[in-house]
Structure 1
Amino acid sequence: MHRHRVHGVPGDGHRGADILLRHPADHGTGVVAGLHAASLARRGRALCTVATALGLCGCTGDLSTLSPAGPAAASTALLWWVMLGGAAAIFAGVLGLVALAFLRPGLGHDIAPRFWLVWGGLALPAVVLGALLVFALLTGERLLPRPGSGAYVVEAVPRQWHWTFRYPGGLRTDDVLHLPAGRPVDVRVVGTDVIHSFWVPRLGGKIDAIPGHVNVIRLQADQPGHYGGVCAEFCGTGHTTMAFAVQAHDAAAFGPALAAAAEGNTP
């Protein structure tokens, strides 16, 4: 017993034996804890990567406002990014003040409360919101249809629960809107039975179809392609199926493609 110095474990003078006896277990525990922490870190990074990828996937597709394919939609997306940036900057500033309050208690005790009320509660919001308002108004002006611009004119007629599109020359298509690419198009949305809303997210904003009224919105597709459109106003039990497609053609192919699509639909 004495040879293994077990009797000295409780004492202060024989801590070498205590370390000798406990070291393997402690070392193993530390290794396991280290491996567990590394595993958690890897899992956290993997989850962040997946979450970021999923978030970015939501920025694409036929109905994504953040994947613009025309000047009107690009203006809307720019306005969204500017407002997001402004909101993020204000949020970061507020979090910074909260962090200072915890890390440096009493740091601003000599600043009068009126300073925070006037500059933080009145001046800063007025400047930020005023700048955003001016930017939004200037951006919104680009979305308005302008007469005399040589725009191609189409009528969109919504009914529960489908869309009819009417073109010059008496041509008509159902649930597919054909557009010439690279040219402004004024869509006259004709109100019929109930309130609907015409929206092609990648090409422009949305506008309501109010019974008894005709509202006009301007779209433009920069490139030929396929784009999605929806009714963005609840209009009854069939609302979720009231979607339509937009097909943009190059200038040479637009006429023949429209004629082929409208064949059999002319009155």
Structure 2
Amino acid sequence: MHPAGPAAKVIATLWWVLLGGATAIFLFVAGLIAWAWYGPSGERDEWGYVIGLGLVFPLIVLAALLAYGLVVGERLLPRPGPDVVRVQAEARQWAWRFGYDDAPDRETENVLHIPAGRPVDVAITTADVIHAFWVPRLAGKLDAVPGRVNVLRIEADRPGRYEGLGSEFNGPGYRDHRFSVIAHDAASWDRFLQGDAP
């Protein structure tokens, strides 16, 4: 509910739009039901109301929501660019190991370091079973699947600490499968890459 990055803001907006569409459909159909029960009696074309109002209106709203969702989903796909940072995230029971393309000799466990204000492509995989990588304030959730690499774009608007979790049931102990993301300003990111910061 408090997005801190572009992808999370898009997802939050999508959520509100879908909630608004679902509410409009619910209220409209509830109004039709109330009108059918308490409205004026007499000859009515019930099938005309059911088909014309009870089906057409919800289908139009659902089609608009689907189109909007597809456009938003396309916007969330990672795209190459000169400013993109690439990191690797490998899940296992019950930890995350992170590697950095810009500092191949650096690895961290359960703490992902990223630069603030720059897009970061996280290449997600797993050493054992299916896990899920999710930093709710920065982006959506993406599964870590054995034998596969999935890429998720995250970005933090400002420096800070953001909590992440493995949100896929994968055995006893999955509730504690958490990690942190530390977004650095430009100077501390350079120090991290040089090995001067934890």
Answering whether residue 57 of structure 2 is matched by residue 124 of structure 1, we say: yes
| Per-residue deviation, 1:175 | 0.5
Deviates more, 1:154-163 or 1:83-92: 83-92
**d(CA) in 1 for partners of 2:79 and 2:166?**
24
SS in structure 1 at match of 2:129: coil
Q: Is the 8 A contact 1:181 1:220 kept in 2?
A: yes
TM-score (norm 1): 0.69
- Cα separation, partners in 2 of 1:102 and 1:112, compared to 1, 3 Å: closer
Aligned 1:1-267 pairs, distance under 5 A: 66-101=1-36, 103-106=38-41, 109-168=42-101, 169=103, 170-257=105-192, 259-262=195-198
Q: Is the 8 A contact 1:192 1:209 kept in 2?
A: no
CA-based RMSD of the aligned residues comes to: 1.7
Q: Is the 8 A contact 1:166 1:173 kept in 2?
A: yes
Deviates more, 1:203-212 or 1:113-122: 113-122
| Per-residue deviation, 1:121 | 3.7
| Per-residue deviation, 1:97 | 3.1
Letter in 2 for 1:213: R
Judging by fraction of residues, say which structure has more helix: 1
Which structure is higher in RCO with an 8 Å CA cutoff and minimum separation 6? 2
**d(CA) in 2 for partners of 1:172 and 1:204?**
22
**d(CA) in 2 for partners of 1:105 and 1:156?**
63
Letter in 2 for 1:248: A
SS in structure 2 at match of 1:186: strand
How far does the alpha carbon of each residue in 1:150-209 deviate from its partner, in whole angstroms, 9 at most, with x for none?
A: 310000010000011101222111101111000000000023200001011110011111
TM-score (norm 2): 0.91
Aligned length: 195
| Per-residue deviation, 1:129 | 1.0
Larger radius of gyration: 1
Judging by fraction of residues, say which structure has more strand: 2
**d(CA) in 2 for partners of 1:130 and 1:149?**
36
**d(CA) in 1 for partners of 2:39 and 2:15?**
36
| Per-residue deviation, 1:223 | 0.8
SS in structure 2 at match of 1:171: strand
Q: Is the 8 A contact 1:225 1:248 kept in 2?
A: yes
Unaligned ranges ≥5, structure 1: 1-65, 263-267
